[in-house]
Structures are given as structure tokens and as C-alpha cells.
């Protein structure tokens, strides 16, 4: 019928009669539409009804007609390799107007593949270490001294490792 926008998406409007009114194809004459003169005419004067074969229902995904593909990776291949092969075959065989998307576990795998930025992981790890140390020492100030001394210890280890590389390997470097 038409479209309307809501929640940042475009939705289609479908006109549908009650169940008993659409039980038979001959009931289309019960509905009236306006012609170009503004008069109401039965819908049956404008339509021709022919029986055709078709699906009992169609799948929809994100408001679009869709086909569901279920599969699994062959032995010796990972799920990433299987989805990459599926995407390659899709791009080679389907027209440009068609698209694909993932749902369920495949969707979660795609989101996990995007990953979390290292800065976020580092920041959250510092926060958790600070909170654990604050609980351990029962103080808010002592964890700062421990966290601020860690980069100095790491740089000392790096300098010693560089020096030890010139000499022989030591137990400290292996740990």
C-alpha cells in the first residue's frame, strides 16, 4: 500500500481483511475502492483472480523476504573458512541487488571477529587490577603506587633482557 518511517526504519503497510472475509476468492467483490471520479466501485470489477501455485508461507528476515541457509564446515575446515567460502560463492553467483546477513551463532561469530580494541581491554584490565588491589590493601591510594611502579619494572626487565642477550641466557629471562 505505502511506506512509513518509525524507529529509524522504513516499514511497509499492507491492507488485510478479516479471516472470514478472505476465506474465498469471490469475497473480493465485498470490498470497494474509489475510481478517478470519486465513486466507490467493487474491487472485483478491477481484478481478475486466477489460481496459482506458490509457497504456503515466505520467510522474512529484517522485514525482507529471505531464504535460510543452514550448513556446517566440512571436517578439517573452520567455521571462518566455511563462512568465507559461502560469501565467495554468494558474490560469484547472486546478483548485486541481493544481500546476505547472519543470525544466531553465525551472527555472534561475526561480531566476535570484529573484536574489542586493545585500548579498551588494557583500560578495563587496569580498572580491575586497581579494584582488586584496593580491596586487597583496603585503601584507595596504595594501588596507585603499585600500578605506577609496574612500567618501571617492565622497562627494567627489558633492559636486562637486552643486556642478557649479549651474555648467556639466564633463568630470569626464561621466566
Global model pTM greater than 0.85: no
pLDDT given at position 172: 54
Among 86, 56, 84, residue whose Cα is nearest residue 71 = 86
Domain tally, the chain: 3
CA atoms of 72 and 126, how far apart (whole Å): 39
**Judgement on whether residues 129 and 92 belong to the same structural domain of the protein:** no
**Judgement on whether residues 1 and 48 belong to the same structural domain of the protein:** yes
Residue 58 domain flag: no
pLDDT given at position 23: 82
pLDDT given at position 125: 92
**Judgement on whether residues 124 and 99 belong to the same structural domain of the protein:** no
Residue 4 domain flag: yes
Residue 57 domain flag: no
CA atoms of 79 and 72, how far apart (whole Å): 7
Residue 62 domain flag: no
pLDDT given at position 173: 52
Residue 63 domain flag: no
**Judgement on whether residues 37 and 5 belong to the same structural domain of the protein:** yes
**Judgement on whether residues 122 and 164 belong to the same structural domain of the protein:** yes
Residue 59 domain flag: no
- Domain residues for the domain of 86 are 69-115
pLDDT along the chain (175 residues), means of 10: 80 82 82 89 87 85 86 90 92 91 88 87 92 94 89 80 61 55
Name the grid cell of 111.
561480531
Q: Which long-range contacts (CB under 8 A, 24 or more apart) does 6-9 make?
A: 9/63
Residue 64 domain flag: no
Residue 82 domain flag: yes
Amino acid at each position: 500500500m505505502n511506506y512509513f518511517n518509525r524507529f529509524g526504519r522504513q516499514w511497509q503497510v499492507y491492507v488485510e481483511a478479516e479471516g472470514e472475509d478472505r476465506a474465498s476468492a469471490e469475497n473480493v467483490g465485498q470490498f470497494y475502492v474509489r475510481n478517478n471520479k470519486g465513486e466507490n466501485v467493487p474491487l472485483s470489477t478491477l481484478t481478475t483472480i486466477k489460481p496459482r501455485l506458490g509457497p504456503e508461507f515466505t520467510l522474512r528476515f529484517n522485514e525482507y523476504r529471505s531464504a535460510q541457509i543452514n550448513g556446517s564446515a566440512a571436517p578439517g575446515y573452520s567455521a571462518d573458512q566455511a563462512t568465507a567460502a559461502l560469501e565467495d560463492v554468494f558474490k560469484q553467483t547472486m546478483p548485486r541487488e541481493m544481500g546476505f546477513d547472519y543470525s544466531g551463532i553465525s551472527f555472534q561469530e561475526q561480531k566476535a571477529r570484529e573484536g574489542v580494541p586493545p585500548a579498551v581491554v588494557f583500560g578495563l584490565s587496569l580498572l580491575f587490577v586497581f579494584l582488586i588491589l584496593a580491596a586487597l590493601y583496603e585503601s584507595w591510594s596504595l594501588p596507585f603506587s603499585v600500578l605506577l611502579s609496574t612500567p618501571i619494572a617492565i622497562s627494567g626487565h627489558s633492559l636486562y633482557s637486552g643486556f642478557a642477550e649479549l651474555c648467556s641466557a639466564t633463568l630470569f629471562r626464561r621466566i
